[in-house]
Chains A and B, each alone.
Chain A
Amino acid sequence: DAGITQSPRYKITETGRQVTLMCHQTWSHSYMFWYRQDLGHGLRLIYYSAAADITDKGEVPDGYVVSRSKTENFPLTLESATRSQTSVYFCASSQGTNVDIQYFGAGTRLSVL
């Protein structure tokens, strides 16, 4: 399917476990982003990537790892999940021109018990 897809949509895990959230886009967009959405905070940027093999920290990167070996994929890994990482995670992509918009996936709801 065309667009941007996230998997899984829902995930329950335990503290200390490693979790990987997947993001795949079919537009060949240069930029990809990971956000977390929490009540009272809106969306906060975790990491972003300008191209394959180029990643950079956002506002709240601690406890997260990303990689981008292929343009279309941008997985987010929680190396040792904590309860504070319970959140809804959104992936987005954009072409990377100044006036371009970001396109969002449907989100992954993660619960860390």
Chain B
Amino acid sequence: AQSVTQLGSHVSVSEGALVLLRCNYSSSVPPYLFWYVQYPNQGLQLLLKYTTGATLVKGINGFEAEFKKSETSFHLTKPSAHMSDAAEYFCAVKDFGNEKLTFGTGTRLTIIP
């Protein structure tokens, strides 16, 4: 069965610093990969997705993620953190031909002024 591991349930970074949120997946074939963001008291919104093609994917709000098949990773980065980035971030995976998403346990990002 598919699984997703997010290292670090809480991450704190200073405003203006690099944001790095880690995600590793288990799959025998390259899956489709997603990052969602959840702001307080809201539902999840898509940040970015990887399906096929370019392994560096750019998303909204300056975030990007790189699919590395050799490392089974899909880490999320942003060069310079902003206070508005404070939220919970979920990595998710979907197999080809399967509409179900499997989510990681989430990483809560705190931005230090």
Contacts and interface: CB of A to CB of B under 8 A. Distances in A.
Q: Chain B at the A interface: mostly helix, strand, loop or mixed? A: loop
B105 A40 contact: yes
A105 B96 CA distance: 24
A42 B99 contact: no
B43 A106 contact: yes
Interface string A74-113: 0000000000000000101010101101101111000000
Nearest to A105: B43
A60 interface: no
Interface residues of B, number: 24
Interface stretch (B14-22, B44-52, B69-77): B44-52
Q: Chain A at the B interface: mostly helix, strand, loop or mixed? A: strand
Contacts of A42: 6, 90, 103-106
Contacts, number: 52
Contact of A94 (B44, B99, B103): B99
Given A45-B100, A98-B96, A90 B44 contact: yes
A102 B101 contact: yes
B97 interface: yes
Interface size class of A (residues with CB under 8 A): 20 to 34
A101 B46 contact: yes
With a 10 A CB-CB cut-off, give which of B9, B96, B101 has the most chain A CB atoms. Answer: B101
Contacts of A35: 103
A99 B105 contact: no
Interface of B: 6, 9, 32, 34, 36, 41-46, 49, 51, 90, 94, 96-97, 99-101, 103-106
Interface of A: 31, 33, 35, 40-45, 48, 50, 58, 90, 92, 94, 96, 98-99, 101-102, 104-107
